[in-house]
Amino acid sequence: MTTTAVMSRAERATRTVTEFFDAYRAREVERMVECCTPNADFRYVPFEVWTRQRVIHGDGKVCTVGKAIWVSLIDSFPDLTNEVLSIHSDEDGNVAAEVTIGGTQSKDFGVIACGGGHYDLPHLFLFHVDSDDLIDDIVCYWDNVDWKTQLDWLEVD
């Protein structure tokens, strides 16, 4: 007789988030998006790009804003990688992940001109994973000043 262990919701949520970061590390944006619901919310809190007419924030949906940012990051930092340092989840599908993301810039990224700089930056990701084991909310925080400093990018008004 064999028994199959039933995974708790917290364990399933951790598995989903781990798969998301595995896809990110492999630079497979479509696979990242497949870990999410079609209408998943997305907020990269420090992200903003100033243009002449408006400021673009990293706030919207995974399938639009998130996907566009990830594709642009991977294009500008082709060796982009992440190291998951810790993941904590609960039985409500809430997941916190401490992740270091880094890469070497090979193209301009928004207003950050390419200087060939490298960065390694701690990030805090907060996810919600629904009862179907899909991510329906992503929020991320990092130190934007440290990121730009590591890339030798100085804002001047």
pLDDT tens per residue, range 81-139: 999 999 999 999 999 999 999 999 999 998 888 999 999 999 999 999 999 999 999 99
- Cα dist from 127 to 1, 51, 88, whole Å: 37, 29, 10
Residue 97 domain-assigned? yes
The residue among 115, 134, 120, 118 whose CA lies nearest residue 19 is 134
CATH number reported for the structural domain that contains residue 108 in this entry: 3.10.450.50
Kindly report the pTM of this predicted structure: 0.92
Q: Which domain holds residue 44?
A: 9-150
Residue 1 domain-assigned? no
pLDDT band at residue 156, thresholds of 50, 70 and 90? low
pLDDT tens per residue, range 1-27: 555 578 999 999 999 999 999 999 999
